[in-house]
Amino acid sequence: MFKCDYNLWVDYHSGKINRDLTEDEKKEIRASDFAMHLLVPEKTLLNTCGGIEGIKKIYSESLSGNPYPLKRVANLFAVEPIVVLFKMEAVINCYKERKFKKRVLKKEKNVIYVNFNKK
């Protein structure tokens, strides 16, 4: 990956791009996302961090200014810390979606029955 492609990918995931992307830029971002998922597999990340709660803890610590746990995980995967940070964000969002999907009891026509009771 070229440095400009990497910077585009980081800027895209950081929300710093305020324009429409070209088709080539979209392809580069998808390719970089694919590489991130290959280099930092979800199951391995979960095992390394001690589950989803460990990922949430390291993620929040890094956003609060403590980069050391994130750097330790990044070193284990031999990637930049920002790559692990974006992967953690993706895993956290994925778990939120899975948790919501478990609450959907059934769908009938255009009515969705959900369970909001905490377990």
Q: What is the pLDDT of residues 65-113, one digit of tens each?
A: 999 999 999 999 999 999 999 999 999 988 876 655 556 677 777 776 7
Nearest to 28 by CA among 9, 10, 11: 9
Burial of 5 (0-12, 13-18, 19+ CB in 10 A): middle
Listed in sequence order, the residues at least 6 apart from 89 whose beta carbon sits closer than 8 Å to its beta carbon are 13, 59
Angstrom distance (rounded) from CA 101 to CA 87: 21
Name the residue type at position 62.
S
pLDDT over 60 at 118, yes or no: no
Listed in sequence order, the residues at least 6 apart from 41 whose beta carbon sits closer than 8 Å to its beta carbon are none
